[in-house]
């Protein structure tokens, strides 16, 4: 029995050694491996616990240097940090590291779809960071590379789900280019499609729900879909309902909380915006997002709260980049004017202009100021109440004044425009159309976004009454205007409206 026992024992030792060798062999082999640690890394990434995610990425690379999934999420993490901090030194380091990480994927000897997908995805994220630091030439190269690779992958393997997010995001984003500028992206081989891209993103969000291996990218897809839908479509209420349903875990993730708060603020729901900001997770484990201060300040100003300026001042003081500084200072200027502080108004207005070239609309305001005419506090209040979703109070406010009492042509134009927007929300479409027509009568006096938007809104009203030709004629007039704030967004809305009417 002893020799048999010894033989059995030796076979177990050999088997154990063989399993260990196979284990080490598998770890050394290059591949995109979704390990339990990679799942945990994604969970930390979505919740912006980036320090913890970074520690786990290093542990994964030490345990398995050939796991390209760890490198993929290392790139994710570096991109997130730059977008949050806008740190120039970190950006320079990231460019070098990204080139090395992409090279590791290029050296991977495989026909796996993940190879080309990951390379394309890293080029896209690098492109976003390059835009942030005005490296447009580098961004054009990376976006083109990303688009062409994701497009080829989509054509070859249309059912490969991860690429739905990437190709959808790029298609929708490039589909927002105004028609007269699309030759630029076509010249480098890119053809955007806003509607198709949005559908791919939505498809990805729904199909990836509950899949822990796609949690990080689902968060990115949800953000991209929401941003594009809220900013380039008139169906904001649909976008807001979709976001509310898909952001129930906002108390666990600052990223999801920011998305929800941003969507609420854009969807005339300032109270939900503030509530979300206050309930977001905070602490040393989480990355700090100063954009919450901007959102709170903006939402509180729409509610005409006295402490709104505190949040906006905090944002412009501590946020390191220029993102939204123009809007924050403009809102601080309005707050100063509502508090009858003319000197602060002029200071904040100049700071706002500093962050962007003076638009034609600002020139109209400047002309009024030179004549001693300050913006109307009645119109400012009506605008803020409208943006805060309190349309009945906005109507009472604007009715407390009159067109005749306003001292400038620009303010008369705005008075009609504000009334028209309010009437739409109050569902008095006949009066809304009348006020938009009055607004258009002032178009020669100031090159304001209000006039092309009046044509767009009247087009919607015609379409509601099934007057398709009148609707198309009105909407197409949007493209006759130039040099106004929000031109790209308004023209994309007009393109989407034409597509809806003619399909």
| Per-residue tens of pLDDT for the chain, all 503 residues | 444 344 444 444 434 433 333 343 444 588 999 999 999 999 999 899 999 999 999 999 999 999 999 999 999 999 999 988 888 889 999 999 999 999 999 999 898 899 999 999 999 999 999 988 889 889 889 999 999 999 999 999 999 999 999 999 999 988 877 665 566 677 777 888 888 999 999 999 999 988 888 988 998 898 899 888 888 877 788 889 988 988 998 999 998 999 999 999 999 999 999 999 999 999 999 988 899 999 999 999 999 999 999 999 999 999 887 888 999 999 999 999 999 999 999 999 999 988 876 777 888 889 999 999 999 999 999 999 999 999 999 999 999 988 999 999 999 999 999 999 999 999 999 999 999 999 988 877 777 899 999 999 999 999 999 999 999 999 999 998 887 878 888 888 898 888 888 87
Q: Please, what is the end-to-end C-alpha distance for the chain in angstroms?
A: 85
Question: CA-CA distance, 358 to 354, in Å (whole number)?
Answer: 8
Specify the pLDDT at position 28. 56
Specify the pLDDT at position 180. 58
Question: CA-CA distance, 258 to 292, in Å (whole number)?
Answer: 7
CATH of domain 378-502: 1.25.40.10
Question: CA-CA distance, 144 to 136, in Å (whole number)?
Answer: 12
- Helix boundaries (H) for 252-290: 254-266, 270-279
Q: What is the number of residues in the chain?
A: 503
* Residue-wise DSSP of 369-388: HHTT-PPPHHHHHHHHHHHT
Specify the pLDDT at position 421. 96
* Residue-wise DSSP of 6-61: HHHHHHHHHHHHHHHHHHHHHHHS-B----HHHHHHHHHHHTT-HHHHHHHHHHHH
Question: CA-CA distance, 100 to 106, in Å (whole number)?
Answer: 10
Burial 458-497 (b: 16+ CB within 10 A, else e): bbbbbbeeeeeeebbebbebbbebeebeebeebbbbbbbb
Specify the pLDDT at position 14. 39
Residue 249 phi/psi, 5-degree rounding, is -95, 25
Specify the pLDDT at position 238. 85
Supply the pTM of this predicted model: 0.84
Specify the pLDDT at position 151. 95
Retrieve residue 191's tokens.
């053809």
Q: Which residue has the tokens 């976003």?
A: 128
Specify the pLDDT at position 410. 92
């Amino acid at each position: 029995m002893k020799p048999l026992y010894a033989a059995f024992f030796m076979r177990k030792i050999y088997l154990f050694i063989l399993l260990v060798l196979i284990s080490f062999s598998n770890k050394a082999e290059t591949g995109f491996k979704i390990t339990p640690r990679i799942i945990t890394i994604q969970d930390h990434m979505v919740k912006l616990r980036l320090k913890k995610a970074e520690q786990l990425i290093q542990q994964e690379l030490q345990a398995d240097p050939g796991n390209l999934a760890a490198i993929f999420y290392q790139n994710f993490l570096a991109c997130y940090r730059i977008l949050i901090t806008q740190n120039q030194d970190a950006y320079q380091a990231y460019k070098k590291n990204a080139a090395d990480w992409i090279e590791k994927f290029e050296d991977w000897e495989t026909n796996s779809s993940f190879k080309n997908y990951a390379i394309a995805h890293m080029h896209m994220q690098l492109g976003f960071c390059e835009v942030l630091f005005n490296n447009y030439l580098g961004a054009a190269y990376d976006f083109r590379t990303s688009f062409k690779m994701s497009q080829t992958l989509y054509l070859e393997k249309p059912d490969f789900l991860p690429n739905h997010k990437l190709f959808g995001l790029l298609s929708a984003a490039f589909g927002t280019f105004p028609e007269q500028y699309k030759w630029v992206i076509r010249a480098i081989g890119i053809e955007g499609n806003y509607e198709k891209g949005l559908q791919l993103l939505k498809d990805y969000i729904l199909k990836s729900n509950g899949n822990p291996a796609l949690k990080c990218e689902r968060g990115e897809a949800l953000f991209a879909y929401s941003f594009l839908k809220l900013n380039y479509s008139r169906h904001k209420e649909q976008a807001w309902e979709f976001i509310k349903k898909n952001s129930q875990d906002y108390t666990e993730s600052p990223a999801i909380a920011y998305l929800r708060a941003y969507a609420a603020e854009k969807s005339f729901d300032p109270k939900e915006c503030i509530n979300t900001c206050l309930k977001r997770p905070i602490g040393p484990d989480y990355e700090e997002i100063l954009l919450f201060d901007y959102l709170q300040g903006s939402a509180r100003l729409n509610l005409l709260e006295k402490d709104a300026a505190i949040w906006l001042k905090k944002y412009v003081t501590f946020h390191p980049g220029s993102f939204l500084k123009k809007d924050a200072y403009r809102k601080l200027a309005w707050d100063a004017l509502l508090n009858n502080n003319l000197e602060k108004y002029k200071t904040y207005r100049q700071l706002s202009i500093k962050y962007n070239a003076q638009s034609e609309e600002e020139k109209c305001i400047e002309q009024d100021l030179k004549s001693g005419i300050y913006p109307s506090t009645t119109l400012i209040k009506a605008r803020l109440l409208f943006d805060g979703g309190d349309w009945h109070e906005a109507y009472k406010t604007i009715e407390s004044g009159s067109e005749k009492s306003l001292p400038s042509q620009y303010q008369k134009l705005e008075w009609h425009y504000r009334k028209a927007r309010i009437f739409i929300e109050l569902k008095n479409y006949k009066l809304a159309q009348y006020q938009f027509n009055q607004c258009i009568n002032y178009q020669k006096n100031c090159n304001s976004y209000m006039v092309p938007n009046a044509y767009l809104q009247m087009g919607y009203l015609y379409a509601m009454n099934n007057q398709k030709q009148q609707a198309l004629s009105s909407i197409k007039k949007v493209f006759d205007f130039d040099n106004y704030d929000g031109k790209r967004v308004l023209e994309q809305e007009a393109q989407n409206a034409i597509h809806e009417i003619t399909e």
